């Protein structure tokens, strides 16, 4: 089990490395396949040995070996986080179609989180990729999963649309599309858990930022990271969260 877990971590960290490419290039409208990875400052190509997840960053001491331009610490962080999330999914679902769907789902949430924090957008390309990969991966679990996934896709999307109309722009179209996508992967009950957690945590943090005056009432705060956090928790512990919440009331 230890060896399998280690392999899953390496797989996740490698996917994290690919997510780093997506995170930088998709908002800039660049291709994610070419040109190969290079230093942004001097154009020095990164060889195979420079592209080992996490380790290369430390081997290069976080900077380009030709011009010394520092590389963002976000690279190893995203790689480590993705590896860690892959391990959590693997330990929860072992080797099943749920695992594969969970890996794809959390990879999308990682990319969305980082892009939304930097650019305040959730790119359509990522949501569409999630949809194209998600439909077969959910269908492979069972036809029932697919049916409920599709129902939850529309239910979550319409719910968020209603929130956007009521709050008059507190929510972006990207948030609505992401919530709908989360419905496909999570199903009806778990997407409800995810949205509940997103609004709860987003609300608490929002109030804290206002009270401490870090952010003003007019500052835009990206909601994607909260949706992602809710989606992550609901995927792994949806049932436990529902049971715990019910036990508070009866
Ligand atoms: Zn350089």
Rounded CA separation 194/57 (Å):
34
Inside any domain, residue 162:
yes
Inside any domain, residue 109:
no
Give the end of a domain, one of 48, 79, 95. 95
Can you give the pLDDT at residue 209? 85
Can you give the pLDDT at residue 211? 85
Inside any domain, residue 103:
no
How far does the centroid of ligand 1 lie from the alpha carbon of residue 20, in Å?
18
* 143/202 same-domain check: yes
Q: What is the pTM of this model?
A: 0.93
82-126 pLDDT tens trace: 999 999 999 999 999 999 999 999 999 999 999 999 999 999 999
Among candidate residues 238, 134, 121, 127, the one with its CA nearest the CA of residue 188: 238
* 85/147 same-domain check: no
Inside any domain, residue 248:
yes
Q: Please give the residue range of the domain that contains residue 4.
A: 1-95
How far does the centroid of ligand 1 lie from the alpha carbon of residue 57, in Å?
14
List, as one string, the DSSP characters of 144-183. Answer: HHHHHHHHHHHHHHHHHHHHHHHHTSSS-HHHHHHHHHHH
Inside any domain, residue 188:
yes
How far does the centroid of ligand 1 lie from the alpha carbon of residue 112, in Å?
27
Give the end of a domain, one of 70, 95, 120. 95
Strand partners for 70: 63
How far does the centroid of ligand 1 lie from the alpha carbon of residue 77, in Å?
20
140-176 pLDDT tens trace: 999 999 999 999 999 999 999 999 898 876 678 999 9
How far does the centroid of ligand 1 lie from the alpha carbon of residue 61, in Å?
13
Inside any domain, residue 122:
no
Give the end of a domain, one of 49, 68, 95. 95
Inside any domain, residue 137:
yes
51 to 32, 129, 239, 249: CA distances (angstroms): 15, 24, 38, 51
How far does the centroid of ligand 1 lie from the alpha carbon of residue 70, in Å?
8
41-84 pLDDT tens trace: 998 888 888 889 999 999 999 999 899 999 999 999 999 999 99
Q: What is the mean pLDDT of the chain?
A: 93
How many other C-beta atoms can be found within 10 angstroms of the C-beta atom of residue 239? 12
Distance of CA 222 to the CA centre of its chain: 13
Domains identified in the chain, total number: 2
Strand partners for 38: 45
Can you give the pLDDT at residue 218? 65
Number of H helices, E strands in the chain: 8, 0
Higher pLDDT among residues 250 and 81, named by residue = 81
């Amino acid at each position: 089990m230890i060896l399998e877990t280690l392999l899953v971590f390496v797989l996740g960290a490698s996917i994290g490395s690919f997510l780093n490419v997506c995170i930088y290039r998709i908002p800039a409208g660049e291709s994610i396949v070419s040109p190969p990875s290079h230093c942004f400052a001097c154009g020095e190509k990164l060889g195979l040995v420079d592209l080992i997840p996490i380790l290369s960053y430390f081997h290069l001491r976080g900077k380009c070996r030709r011009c010394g331009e520092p590389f963002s610490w976000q690279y190893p962080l995203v790689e480590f986080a993705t590896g860690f999330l892959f391990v959590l999914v693997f330990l929860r679902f072992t080797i099943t179609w749920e695992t594969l769907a969970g890996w794809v789902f959390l990879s999308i949430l990682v990319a969305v989180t980082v892009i939304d924090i930097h650019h305040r957008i959730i790119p359509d390309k990522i949501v569409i990729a999630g949809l194209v990969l998600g439909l077969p991966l959910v269908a492979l679990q069972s036809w029932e999963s697919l049916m409920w996934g599709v129902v939850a896709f529309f239910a979550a999307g319409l719910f968020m649309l209603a929130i956007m109309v009521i709050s008059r722009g507190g929510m972006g179209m990207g948030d609505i599309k992401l919530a709908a996508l989360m419905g496909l992967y999570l199903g009806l009950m778990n997407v409800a858990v995810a949205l509940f957690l997103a609004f709860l945590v987003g609300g608490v943090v929002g109030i804290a930022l206002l009270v401490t005056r870090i952010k003003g009432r007019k500052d835009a705060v990206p909601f994607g990271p909260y949706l992602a956090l809710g989606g992550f928790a609901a995927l792994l512990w949806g049932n436990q969260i529902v049971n715990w919440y019910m036990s508070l009331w009866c």
